[in-house]
Structure 1
């Protein structure tokens, strides 16, 4: 690493939130809105096709999981592509794939097999959007507001997308049929020209690829007050001594405990999320709720998930202790699901589902950010992609296992038991991960400085600590 020039990591970490930051957050929010919408709309298809297509519980679960299988492949591969060729092109490619196969689903999905095949291909694009948007925004966000900025820029869009899927299920499908979900989803084509024109490359990726002119222009937009300084400046940042396999780095002695803890927690978390969201509309109708109320439960979960993620992210930004807060959030969410075993009344159903969304999905939003902050720039996209790839195995199994349990026992009780216990276990496992370097920095700074001094020291060291092997 050179010891002269402007440190790109420091410039990004210590920046104030500018208008350009906010525009980029809006772009990421719009992108992940379509991701969230497309991910959750299969839950509203089951009601219409289960009878005509003769589906049993396990097959209905596969209807939900087919897109997640493609997501697993896409999220596993995208990190390697993005770390090699750049964040911008990979994000655009993911949205093109998602948009094209969403339209093809509306046009040609007329059987169980054709629907699952088209959903699998759509998932290849979806597997890029959420994990890479998380990586992208973490590389641009000022460090002292990283969790909050990521939640507003990524999680809000994803939660709104899931909410819109629920609203489309309630209001559009009774009139136009279930394919209306995919015609609405095809509006993502409208976003593509805007992204092609406005989306910049990640400055940290530009640094690693030695593209100083693009770095000057981008840093000047992110920090306009320092633009004159960048005009003739040289830039420094750590570079790997030699090419390495990023997946091998994740499992090296330095990161192994954190990587395995994150993977297991993410697996269990998405098992809960997709097992619950995929079946909530159907199960609630079985429990005596009306059609509109049952479909609206999915929208309630998504609205509450953003609020829950925002709350825990804000707490982490203020006090640190991300592992303990994530564990607490998952524990409360798990207990709320277990409460559905004992009680079945409209108010209780609504409260338990809302709390499950607030805590379980809210914690998952912050786990994505926790992952991005736990690794170096060179492997960060791969780390987030691999986290969500492993997690997608849980997401695939969640609806399948939930469907098979209902098919076997003719009751949702075993499903609630499995999901509640999985959430509790996810909270216990995340406590085994190492604390992110920024939290250690904050703890040290508190003993010797307050307010601005603390924030400045935290930003300075947090941007370099992962590069020094902390």
Structure 2
């Protein structure tokens, strides 16, 4: 692949309206994914009363979505590397939008549980594919910032869900909060028309007119930057089992370490989101509401994510992410020590940045680590394994509280995964392979193809 390749043009381009449009679409997808994932917590009190569910039954129903996310992260992201990012994004968004909306018509817990599982498949497929598409198109100087902004949609959706609930619960009941999720389906024609496909996928399929149209939006003078008459784009091989590609070219150890980092990171996130209010109440802070915790946790993550994304583009990601995990572990450990309210809120906000915000930056780093032909697969596998940690977090907190473990020790248990994540990331190779594997076949893009 020459220095004047399509990838070089995309990486060295200037951020413009095309990139902004793509970023806004991705922010939209992630926001609704975050909304649909969090809205269950808003409606569960009504479900518990209407269907006479025990807390254990309600918890099991909630876990169906996480199980679905695990399958979606691995399977759909694997398919995205083979069949194109755009198609899988559309499938994923359709899944979580339709099945979340259908769950609003459920009359019993069985149908509702199946809807949560199938919506979870869509949740899991959306995030890795969105990250991969942004990684391919966004200029190199803005990749971390753009990806972290898009992933702020998780916090946007997390804040929107309870606000929608407050607006509709008193007058219309719990079901409209789930019907609200139909909006992405209504916009599907616009998504199909304006969302671009992966450039590498278009190259493999020989869709040169589409490549040309996209490049003209990114840089009208792109042809002048091709200093050679003919640029050869070597096509990566299509493997029957793409996951194997994650363990080739000295990437095996890094792939395993990434899975550990995601497992530990999501354990902290889901454990913290589930049990923080209860833990703080047990620590002697009865006057602080759960809503206040949620606002500071998500608000801190929302603002901090943008800031660390900018820093990462200027200074690099790996050391920053590693350091944030350590800081997050320290903040969580300190929450177990009773202190004044101001310091408490500060620690919670910083913990939000170092857990949820850092997870967004980790996704950006891992996406850029892997080559194009296994990018979605790599991000998806790590997210899929990480969901096991996400399921363990709430369970671990419940066990600790049931055993009456001292609050300081509970917070220390949730802090330790941050240390393990930092050590694992430290051991990852400095950068991924610089040259992607190629086959004996190549697709030549001549001036006729691109001009």
Q: TM-score range, shorter-chain basis? A: 0.7 to 0.9
Partner of 2:429: 434
The correspondence of residues 50-449 of structure 1 with structure 2, limited to 5 A, is: 53-56=52-55, 59-108=57-106, 110-111=108-109, 113-152=110-149, 154-169=150-165, 172-173=168-169, 176-226=172-222, 235-240=231-236, 243=239, 245-252=241-248, 254-281=250-277, 289=286, 293-320=289-316, 322-343=317-338, 346-409=341-404, 415-436=410-431
CA contact (8 A) 1:274 1:399 kept: yes
CA contact (8 A) 2:132 2:367 kept: yes
Q: Residue 356 of structure 1: SS of its match in structure 2?
A: helix
Deviation at 1:348, TM superposition (A): 4.5
Equivalent residues, number? 435
Distance 1:70 1:140, change over 3 A: same
Q: 2 CA distance for matches of 1:418 and 1:90?
A: 37
Secondary structure of the 1:108 match is coil
Q: Distance in 2 between matches of 1:349 and 1:63?
A: 32
Query: 1:173 deviation in Å?
Result: 4.2
2:69–2:387 contact (8 Å) kept in structure 1: yes
Q: Closer, same or farther in 2 for the Cα pair 1:241/1:410, shift >3 Å?
A: closer
For 2:219 and 2:302, locate their aligned partners in 1 and report how far apart those are by CA, in whole Å: 29
Q: Secondary structure at the match of 1:342?
A: coil
1:411 and 1:46 mapped to 2: Cα distance? 28
**Distance change (3 Å), C-alpha of 1:348 and 1:173:** farther
The worse-fitting range, judged by mean Cα deviation, of 426-435 and 346-355 is 346-355
User: How far does residue 294 in structure 1 lie from its aligned partner after superposition?
Assistant: 0.9
Residues 334, 360 of structure 1: 8 Å contact kept: no
Q: How far is 1:313 from its partner?
A: 2.2
Q: CA separation in 1, counterparts of 2:357 and 2:259?
A: 17
> Which whole-Å deviations, capped at 9, do the CAs of 1:158-185 have from their partners, x for residues lacking one?
2211221243455554665444432333
Give the drift of 1:301: 2.1
Q: After TM superposition, give the deviation of residue 205 of structure 1 in Å.
A: 1.7
DSSP 3-state at the match of 1:84: helix
Post-superposition CA distance 1:371-400 (Å, at most 9, x none)? 111111111111111111111111122122
Change (3 A) 1:169 1:312: same
Q: Is the contact made by 1:373 and 1:436 (CA closer than 8 Å) also made in structure 2?
A: no
Range with greater deviation from structure 2 (6-15 or 280-289): 280-289
Question: For the Cα contact (< 8 Å) 1:280–1:298, is it kept in 2?
Answer: no
Pairwise CA distance, 1:66: 1.9
What's the counterpart of residue 447 of structure 1? none
- Structure 1's unaligned 5+ residue stretches are 438-463
Q: Could you say what secondary structure the match of 2:434 adopts? A: helix
| Structure 2: 5+ residue stretches without partners | 439-451
Bigger shift: 299-308 or 265-274?
Answer: 299-308
Deviations 1:129-166 (A, max 9, x none): 111100110010111221012222x2232221122124
Deviates more, 1:277-286 or 1:366-375: 277-286
Aligned CA-pair RMSD: 2.9
- More displaced stretch, 44-53 vs 398-407: 44-53
Taking a change above 3 Å as real, the CA distance of residues 97 and 363 of structure 1, as seen in their structure-2 partners, is same
